[in-house]
Structure 1
Amino acid sequence: MNQLFLAFPGNLDTPTGGYGYDRRIIAGLRDLGWQVELVPLGEGFPAPSAQTLVAAEKRLAALPQGSRVVIDGLAFGAMAAAAAALDQHLSLVALVHHPLCLENGLTDGQAQALRESEHRALAFARHVIVTSPATARQVADLFGYPAQRISVVLPGTDRPGTIAREPADGVRLLSVGTVVARKGYDLLFQALSGMRERNWHLEIVGGLESDPQCYRALLQQIGDMHLAGRITFHGAVPPDALSGFYRNADIFVLASRYEGYGMAYTEALAHGLPVIGSGGGAVRETLPDGAAIYCGIENVPALREALELLIGDAGARARMAQAARTAAEGLPDWRDAAAQFAQTLQELAL
């Protein structure tokens, strides 16, 4: 039987794209007959306490000699010393959703420290798995990691089946993502502030606890821009409820500053939604022409122009929705993703 240990920081049930990817890959590998043992590494990553790091290293050191261990990049990049100590004991694979130093809201010193730590840690990774070609290039460029030892395993998408949207009073906008600076909700609000005369409502689905200061600032921004009543935060919701939000929306918009892949974009495509997106990293490659409008990075005028177009033109929405459904047919599902993940690990054992 194929066996794998998967080590993760924090709570695996955290409702973010990265943890969601981990959960679906774990489930998919188990469906393929793999024995996947979970190794919790503790809280606070990517800036854990010294005690957490010591405890995490002890948990990993207790695994059988030669074990194949995939460590989520949110933890791996902060575990350079542990990776060095475990190099001869375990076969370490890093699962990098995006380089830690590229998270928004970091000081220059914090970003540099994370870059140096991740660079040191990756030197002891036998292989790196990433979720997009863009992230593969960044890992190679930022850390000098050999490109031939990086594998891309794209996230899967669920197939929601036929969707019949009920008519609504006004255009229903949907944005999905944890409320943190990187998701660019402040940019989206700026774009919408010039469109108060239009009939629209924005639903935001995503955890509110990761950055309370960011959430408070966004609430203040809504008040200052006189958008109260036009924007609703729903927090994190279960998968079935999230699919309901996609089914009831008319337009998906996410004004991210950066994405390692952008699973919310592809879920929107799978639900037949026209997409407006922005950001660096993998965003441009994730958004297909015809089904999506790419607005660059932190470009509020471009976001507003795209929103004006789609809110005001039902025909354009319908054409892009059809293109979205067509594009989604070429996306991998989660069985495909798990099979590719398994193949990557099996090739390492040869």
Structure 2
Amino acid sequence: MITVIHFVVPGDIDDRSVPSGGNVYDRRMGTALGAREVAVTGTWPTPDDTARQELANVLAGFDDDATVLIDGLVACGVPEVVAAHAQRLRLAVLVHLPLADETGLVPDLAADLDARERQTLRAATMVITTSPWAARRVVSHHGLDASRVHAAPPGTDPAPLALGSDGGTRLLCVAAVTRRKGQDRLVEALAQVRDLPFSCELVGSLRRDSEFVLRLNAMIKEHGLVDRITLAGPKTGAELDAAYAAADLFVLPSHTETYGMVLTEALARGLPVLATNVSAIPETVGQAPDGTVPGILTWQFADALRSFLTDEDLRERLRASAHARRATLTDWDTAALHLRDVLAELEEPACRT
């Protein structure tokens, strides 16, 4: 049985101006596991020499055979640092998103990060992902032994049902405003249904991709939607809860997701979802016990939005399915117990060969 888990996380884990699903996962799992957390400051996954040396010092400070879980954002760009300690530590790398899957990277940087990540994951004792889809992806893409790769999905907090509006016209997207999250796709779709009543709040950090934020603002102005689409910036706590409570439909237009925690946060409130039918999203959205899907998974956002905004029966069916799916979501304590069981396999001799 594991007695001590060391957890190496990004230095901005608690920065409320740049909230992320990865940081929430790290904070909630680390707390539930009682892990000894070490936050390492740096521009991960492309750190400067000072940050590299800090990480090297942190890893060197762990005793031989210590169980160490390290966030992939920190680990995957510096294989030379991680590999130097991989043989003496019981080292698990937690992959939230394969580095090269971040949208908007120039090809040379994407290729370099991809190669570095492959070296890191092959050196690690174990690789942990946040969904079964992501586990299959890293096994296939990086040529890993599937027995070394495990999925440990996040949990979800119970939440009150969203009250929404009388007309079903309030849309909510919670995601950092970046190319990968695809808010430009959503704006274009909303421009095609501007003849219908709606409002849309985009909640999320505006600091991750400033160039994209500028472009998105320009698109909103160009389409004459300034009064209907709000770039609200990041929200947490009661402020975020209020945004969910006021919504009728949760929208996530991402190009890729290895889980999509905001989807289950929406479903926990009985909110139907509209999301791209890509990567781990169908797994995360899942099905209600009766087999219905609590939302619309499609690339045709304009058509889906028009259907939702004009068809009251459709809204009721999706809401009923979301309410039923809500009851099947996994809580954080259960999710953390599963992660602990996964990490316990590091103690087995087979993991050390």
TM-score (norm 2): 0.92
Contact in 1 for aligned 2:90/2:346 (Cα 8 Å): no
Query: Following TM superposition, by how much is the alpha carbon of 1:69 offset from its aligned partner in structure 2, in angstroms?
Result: 0.7
- Post-superposition CA distance 1:127-178 (Å, at most 9, x none): 11111111101110111111111111111111113x3626456610000101
Gaps of 5+ in 2: 287-291, 349-353
- The equivalent residue for 1:292 is 295
- Post-superposition CA distance 1:30-87 (Å, at most 9, x none): 3xxxxx2111222100111122112211121112222111010111111200112112
SS in structure 2 opposite 1:259?
coil
**Given the alignment of the two structures, is residue 74 of structure 1 paired with residue 76 of structure 2, yes or no?**
no
Contact in 1 for aligned 2:181/2:255 (Cα 8 Å): yes
Is the alpha carbon distance of 1:345 and 1:276 closer, same or farther for their aligned partners in structure 2, counting shifts above 3 Å? same
1:148-167 matches, within 5 Å, as 148-161=147-160, 163=161, 165=163, 167=165
C-alpha distance in 2, partners of 1:164/1:233?
Answer: 21
Is the alpha carbon distance of 1:164 and 1:138 closer, same or farther for their aligned partners in structure 2, counting shifts above 3 Å? closer
SS in structure 2 opposite 1:233?
strand
C-alpha distance in 1, partners of 2:310/2:5?
Answer: 51
- Aligned residue identity for 1:293: I
Choose from 235, 238, 243 the match for 1:237: 235
- Post-superposition CA distance 1:195-219 (Å, at most 9, x none): 1111100011111111111111110
Worse-matched range after superposition: 277-286 or 337-346: 277-286
Contact in 1 for aligned 2:168/2:248 (Cα 8 Å): no
C-alpha distance in 1, partners of 2:50/2:266?
Answer: 41
- The equivalent residue for 1:13 is 14
Worse-matched range after superposition: 278-287 or 308-317: 278-287
Contact in 2 for aligned 1:80/1:117 (Cα 8 Å): yes
Runs of 4+ in 1 over 6 A off after TM superposition: none
Is the alpha carbon distance of 1:164 and 1:146 closer, same or farther for their aligned partners in structure 2, counting shifts above 3 Å? closer
Is the alpha carbon distance of 1:168 and 1:349 closer, same or farther for their aligned partners in structure 2, counting shifts above 3 Å? same
C-alpha distance in 2, partners of 1:223/1:272?
Answer: 32
- Aligned residue identity for 1:236: P
- Aligned residue identity for 2:75: F
SS in structure 2 opposite 1:183?
coil
SS in structure 2 opposite 1:280?
coil
- The equivalent residue for 1:24 is 28
Gaps of 5+ in 1: 31-35
Contact in 1 for aligned 2:162/2:271 (Cα 8 Å): no
Contact in 1 for aligned 2:189/2:301 (Cα 8 Å): yes
- The equivalent residue for 1:111 is 110
Choose from 193, 196, 207 the match for 2:194: 196
**Given the alignment of the two structures, is residue 252 of structure 1 paired with residue 250 of structure 2, yes or no?**
yes
Worse-matched range after superposition: 137-146 or 8-17: 8-17
- The equivalent residue for 1:33 is none
Note the aligned Cα RMSD (angstroms). 1.5
Is the alpha carbon distance of 1:311 and 1:169 closer, same or farther for their aligned partners in structure 2, counting shifts above 3 Å? closer
Contact in 2 for aligned 1:257/1:279 (Cα 8 Å): no
Contact in 2 for aligned 1:140/1:146 (Cα 8 Å): yes
C-alpha distance in 2, partners of 1:85/1:278?
Answer: 40
- Aligned residue identity for 2:293: G
- The equivalent residue for 1:184 is 182
1:242-321 matches, within 5 Å, as 242-278=240-276, 280-288=278-286, 289-295=292-298, 299=299, 302-321=300-319
Is the alpha carbon distance of 1:23 and 1:92 closer, same or farther for their aligned partners in structure 2, counting shifts above 3 Å? same
Query: Following TM superposition, by how much is the alpha carbon of 1:237 offset from its aligned partner in structure 2, in angstroms?
Result: 1.3
Contact in 2 for aligned 1:274/1:320 (Cα 8 Å): yes
C-alpha distance in 2, partners of 1:164/1:179?
Answer: 24
Query: Following TM superposition, by how much is the alpha carbon of 1:285 offset from its aligned partner in structure 2, in angstroms?
Result: 2.2
- Aligned residue identity for 2:267: L
Contact in 2 for aligned 1:101/1:112 (Cα 8 Å): yes
Identity across aligned pairs (percent)? 35
C-alpha distance in 1, partners of 2:63/2:212?
Answer: 43
TM-score (norm 1): 0.93
SS in structure 1 opposite 2:180?
helix
- The equivalent residue for 2:95 is 96
Contact in 2 for aligned 1:254/1:276 (Cα 8 Å): yes
- The equivalent residue for 2:351 is none
Contact in 2 for aligned 1:265/1:287 (Cα 8 Å): yes
SS in structure 1 opposite 2:14?
coil
SS in structure 2 opposite 1:129?
strand
Is the alpha carbon distance of 1:232 and 1:164 closer, same or farther for their aligned partners in structure 2, counting shifts above 3 Å? closer
